[in-house]
Amino acid sequence: MRDLHALLNSLINIDLESLVAILSSESEAAQRVVNSARQRTASQRARRNEAIHHAARIDRILSFFQHGEVAPEMSERDVMLCKSLEARLHGRGHS
């Protein structure tokens, strides 16, 4: 799983449509990891739980950019990340 914060902060000259496409792709990839993860051992269960949380985080961020609303479960760090990206998008004249 990629570091979502680093990925989103590295994006330059992106529009909202491309950002949503990237987040959708990341969400699908995270969901595939969740669905394929085995749960026989404690470490496998831990990796699957981590993948579940990662997928949920991506979905909350994706929802922010699709619907413009902050989910109650979003961390302060993710809210700040989303608002920073949103400001960059609006600063370039994208909506």
What are the extents of the domains in the chain? Answer: 4-91
Residue 7: predicted pLDDT? 79
Inform me whether the pLDDT recorded for 16 exceeds 80. yes
Q: What percent of the chain has pLDDT over 90?
A: 47
Q: Are 48 and 39 in contact (CB under 8 A)?
A: yes
Whole-number pLDDT of residue 94 = 47
Confidence band for 37, pLDDT divided at 50, 70 and 90: confident
Tokens 């595939």 -> residue:
32
Do 4 and 54 form a contact (C-beta atoms < 8 A)? yes
